[in-house]
Structure 1
Amino acid sequence: MSDHDNREEWIAGKHPVLEALRSGREINKLWVAEGAQKNMQPLLGEAKKQGIVVQQVDKRKLDQLAPGIQHQGVLAQAAPYRYAEVDELLARAQSRGETPLLLVLDEIEDPHNLGSIIRTAECTGVHGVIIPKRRSAMLTATTLKTSAGAAEHVPVARVTNLVQTIERLKQDGVWIAGADATAPQNVYQTDLQLPLAIVIGSESKGLGRLIREKCDFLVRLPMRGRLNSLNASVAAGVLMYEALRQREAAAASGQG
């Protein structure tokens, strides 16, 4: 079963709220700061069309409801985010007639990193993101805000056991590529066009031992500077874009 959280969630910011409305996310109520309406006509129009209650309040009320979050004068009170099943991610690729490209995140604990990764995943056509239930950031208001609405369009599966999930992906014909700074293979010399799940390790420890052992192959990003590591979301972004580049190049040459 999909993982549900019974509490309501806040979605903050003009773009994330508009994307949530457009994606069909169940929104219970909108709170808009007094004087901010003139910048929100598309958003308010969409809310009106869907019959969603819009309440005008003092900006300080929004600050209290979502402390520490840049809300830009608008908050949505939403039903809990529905996590997807792993099968749904693969079905999404199949329905598009595309070779699966998934992202597996091994204990990414910073919600900003998770939001940034989901945003890049949406831009690069990734079919879904898989995160573990333990020792991982979840889809919170901060994550949704950082993803700039992308989390409404990229399904995220939350699983109990990453190792078992990787084994299952293998049985479905998906290859598992782990990102590792010590890997012998340079990503730019590696075929990323096959059905693929790219595994990104935690910000502090990298890939866990068991996860690393389950990977079909490991890839590294070439490093020319003195620091030998990249932020997890940056590394994930480079890998996703390289996979996209290879697939688009192959499609172009096939059409030529």
Structure 2
Amino acid sequence: MAKGNQSRRGAVAKKNQPPKMGSGGKHRRALEGRGPTPKAEDRTWHPAYKQKVAKERQAEREAARAKSMTASAVKVRPGYELVTGRNPVVEVVKAGNKVSRIYLASDPSQGKMREVFELLAETGAPFIEVTKRDLDRVSDGAAHQGIAVEVAEYEYSDLEDLIIDSLQQYKPGLLVALDHITDPHNVGAILRSGAAFGADGLILPERRSAGVGVTAWKVSAGAAARVPAARVTNLVQALRKCKEAGFFIVGLDGNADTTVRNMDLGDSPIVLVTGAEGSGLSRLVRDTCDLIVSIPMTSNVESLNASVATAIALYEIAGE
């Protein structure tokens, strides 16, 4: 206590305390700090935070929209495929293929759909009502016309059976073989041309070749149900078997001197072989052919699409 105040009434003498060093002793907690400064987008009161929240909500909406665009009520089981469109559906049913499910997105009482609906009702398969958007998602943009059926994957014929059935026709046998045709649209178009011009079957190699899948079914407009196809491990060996059975092997090539219109094979059964556009027939396949023919064209066009060339050749053969 300060000197001179010790005698003051009620005064209490204080013990001496050690002095505090600087302001740290008094404001030590305040000087400890609050850690690193949060980013602007993490401060709830900052405009950057509101922008971040808005972007996150937008991303969530876009993800939900993308999910709704990819999800579909049409579920195709393993080992099955989807055939879409009125004509392909009618053809697949008339060909005796077993239908396991029917997806309908159109009014069955309207126009031609009524006839299709009645035909499908006879199969005994369950009807599943879906939206047109559901069918859009599973048909790759193809015109499905509001109808699709689930059937077992295409069942290929045996080559020997194909040869025998072709030779037993009332007309000279006619088969089509494809060499390295990898576009299923071409396969479907060739099936359609084959059905139009009397081909008895199609021969496809297993490797480096498109098969008779959903796309080919659709492009063929149902012709895949009428023209059987055989898939072989070796196209050259398959062509040799056809030769042994009496078939004349004719290959298409744009540089051949003989045209398809001028060839004269009489009543011989024919296997018409088409190669890929650009590369044409492979060497071994070409060597196996009995005759190489071309389609006459103007000099302005180097080559034709494989399916177009096949259709022209089939037309000429059918007209002989």
Task: State the TM-score, normalizing by the size of structure 2.
Answer: 0.72
Shift, 1:64, TM fit: 2.9
Q: SS at 2:89's partner residue?
A: helix
Of 293, 296, 306 in structure 2, the residue corresponding to residue 219 of structure 1 is 293
1:104-115 correspondence to structure 2 within 5 Å: 104-115=177-188
Matched, 1:231 2:305: yes
In structure 1, how many angstroms separate the alpha carbons of the residues matched to 2:108 and 2:145?
9
Q: SS at 1:129's partner residue?
A: strand
Runs of 4 or more above 6 Å deviation = none
Instruction: Give the direction of change, closer, same or farther, for the CA distance of 1:227–1:67 in structure 2 (3 Å limit).
Output: closer
Q: Is the 8 A contact 2:167 2:269 kept in 1?
A: no
Q: SS at 2:236's partner residue?
A: helix
Of 159, 165, 170 in structure 2, the residue corresponding to residue 86 of structure 1 is 159
Q: Is the 8 A contact 1:109 1:203 kept in 2?
A: no
Considering only CA atoms, is the larger Rg found in Structure 1 or Structure 2? 2
Q: Is the 8 A contact 2:277 2:303 kept in 1?
A: no
Matched, 1:171 2:244: yes
Matched, 1:132 2:205: yes
**Unaligned segments of structure 2, at least 5 residues:** 1-77
Matched, 1:49 2:157: no
CA offsets 1:105-131 (integer angstroms, 9 cap, x no match) = 001111111111100100111010101
CA offsets 1:9-34 (integer angstroms, 9 cap, x no match) = 11011100011011101110110104
Q: What one-letter code is carried by the residue in structure 2 that aligns with 1:209?
A: R
Shift, 1:225, TM fit: 3.7
Of 197, 214, 217 in structure 2, the residue corresponding to residue 141 of structure 1 is 214
* 2:259 paired residue number: 186
Q: What one-letter code is carried by the residue in structure 2 that aligns with 1:173?
A: G
* 1:9 paired residue number: 81
Instruction: Specify which structure has the bigger relative contact order, considering alpha-carbon pairs within 8 angstroms and separated by 6 or more residues.
Output: 1
Instruction: Give the direction of change, closer, same or farther, for the CA distance of 1:145–1:10 in structure 2 (3 Å limit).
Output: same
Matched, 1:32 2:32: no
Q: SS at 1:188's partner residue?
A: coil
Task: State the TM-score, normalizing by the size of structure 1.
Answer: 0.90
Q: Percent same amino acid among aligned pairs?
A: 38
Q: Is the 8 A contact 2:259 2:293 kept in 1?
A: yes
What is the alpha-carbon root mean square deviation over aligned residues?
1.4
